[in-house]
Amino acid sequence: MEMPLHALLAGAWVGCVLVEALFERALLGQGRDKELILARLHWKVDLFIEGPLLASVAVTGLLIVRPIFAAQAVDVLLQAKLVFAALAILANIWCIRLVKVRLNYAEAGEWEAFERVDNSQHRWGALVLVGLLGSAILGLVR
């Protein structure tokens, strides 16, 4: 039961990240009023959807991996999967922090600082996607 739930939640997380990428592309550079809406929207999605998905994927993943560790049956594919999973989780937590910092700058009208954090958030976002796709592919092929 845990495994399909884990895969379902992981798929929802990937979908959430892809939708975020689309609304970022649609609203960035369309004027400060749109960028303020974007910053607020992204923070809400992180808080109510992406954050809970991330946490539930980590919890279900750890529940699945515990007996495998206990049986000392961690093979190289699973090790690689866990590295990608850790990358996805840590990079995404950092991204969520950057989304909040970016929102604070947008609300304060500090647009130079907003741009700086925005650039960094998109670079970390690309790493999240690498981690997600790596864990999904290795989870499925194992």
Q: Is 125 in the site for ligand HEM (CB under 6 A)?
A: no
Q: Is 53 in the site for ligand HEM (CB under 6 A)?
A: no
Tokens 């999605």 correspond to 45
- CA pair distance 38, 36, nearest whole angstrom: 5
Angle between helices 111-141 and 76-108 (to 10 degrees): 160
Q: Is 6 in the site for ligand HEM (CB under 6 A)?
A: yes
Q: Is 142 in the site for ligand HEM (CB under 6 A)?
A: yes
Q: Is 132 in the site for ligand HEM (CB under 6 A)?
A: yes
* Positions 22 through 51 that interact with ligand HEM (CB under 6 A): none
Pick the binder of ligand HEM from 26, 47, 62, 108 (CB under 6 A): 62
Q: Give kind and range of the element (H or E) at residue 88.
A: helix 76-108
Q: Which range, of 2-10, 22-30, 34-42, 45-53, touches ligand HEM by CB under 6 A?
A: 2-10
- CA pair distance 137, 131, nearest whole angstrom: 10
The residue of the chain with the least Cβ separation from ligand HEM equals 61
Q: Is 124 in the site for ligand HEM (CB under 6 A)?
A: no
CB of 59 to ligand HEM, least distance (A): 8
Q: Is 140 in the site for ligand HEM (CB under 6 A)?
A: yes
Size (the chain), residues: 142
Helix (H, G, I), strand (E, B) or coil at 140: helix
- CA pair distance 12, 2, nearest whole angstrom: 15
